[in-house]
Amino acid sequence: MGTLAVTGDHDADQLLIDDPFALLLAMMLDQQIPMEWAFKSPLRLKERIPDDFSAERLAALDPDKAEAVFKEKPALHRFPGSMARRAQELSRHLMDHYDGDAARVWTEAATGQELLKRLKALPGYGDEKAKIFLAVLAKRFGVTPVGWEAAAGPFSDPTPRTVADIDSPEALAQVRAWKKAQKAKGKTKQD
């Protein structure tokens, strides 16, 4: 059970809490668009392919169909074509390495460093995104392998800096205010 409240939509947030694939997909999409949009997109995708919302289904979907689903209004991302391809790459990776079970990325990791390595191997996940997602797992879902704080770096601290720190509309406002203040100082979310 998790405590994530980032979209302003109960059903979208609940899907992220209930479905590890949706959570991984949302985090992958969280770039160059508002985080609420990114984290609501898995629910929209599930509504568009309702018969089987899974890594297996998305991996097997015809690439043109996947792109059309991502481009359908409202688009699932600012760059729906490239994100459809990346989402399929992520899905194929989950199929190839975890039999499509997204939760295995973290449930089978013995340490924070191992989990970080697994996250960084996911298509669409760089170093910072992997560290933030590790912090999401720890802070919002109680997934705390040994050494997670060191692996997550600054995202493990109590500063309200990322989606990992959002469990309510008030927390979302705090993260937004913190990011705005950092930007005004010429600093990043890692500072």
pTM for the complete prediction?
0.93
User: Out of 23-27, 58-62, 91-95, 182-186, which region has the weakest mean confidence (pLDDT)?
Assistant: 182-186
Q: Which residue has the higher pLDDT, 29 or 1?
A: 29
Looking at residue 4, its pLDDT comes to 86
Residue 29 has pLDDT above 80, yes or no: yes
Does residue 154 sit within a domain?
A: yes
Looking at residue 1, its pLDDT comes to 57
CATH number, domain with residue 98: 1.10.340.30
Does residue 116 sit within a domain?
A: yes
- When divided into structural domains, the chain yields a total of 1
Residue 66 has pLDDT above 60, yes or no: yes
Does residue 98 sit within a domain?
A: yes
Does residue 2 sit within a domain?
A: no
Residue 166 has pLDDT above 80, yes or no: yes
The pLDDT of 122-139, averaged and rounded, is: 96
Looking at residue 188, its pLDDT comes to 74
Does residue 119 sit within a domain?
A: yes
Looking at residue 3, its pLDDT comes to 81
Q: Taking all residues of the chain, what is their mean pLDDT, rounded to a whole number?
A: 93
The pLDDT of 150-166, averaged and rounded, is: 93
Does residue 62 sit within a domain?
A: yes
For every residue of the chain, which 3-state class applies, written as one string? CCCCCCCCCHHHHHHHHHCHHHHHHHHHHCCCCCHHHHHHHHHHHHHHCCCCCCHHHHHHCCHHHHHHHHHCCCCCCCCHHHHHHHHHHHHHHHHHHHCCCCCHHHHCCCEHHHHHHHHHCCCCCCHHHHHHHHHHHHHHHCCCCECHHHHHHHHHCCCCCCHHHCCCHHHHHHHHHHHHHHHHCCCCCCC
Domain containing residue 101: 10-184
Looking at residue 173, its pLDDT comes to 85
Residue 73 has pLDDT above 70, yes or no: yes
Does residue 3 sit within a domain?
A: no
Does residue 190 sit within a domain?
A: no
Q: Which residue has the higher pLDDT, 133 or 168?
A: 133
The pLDDT of 165-172, averaged and rounded, is: 88
Residue 189 has pLDDT above 90, yes or no: no
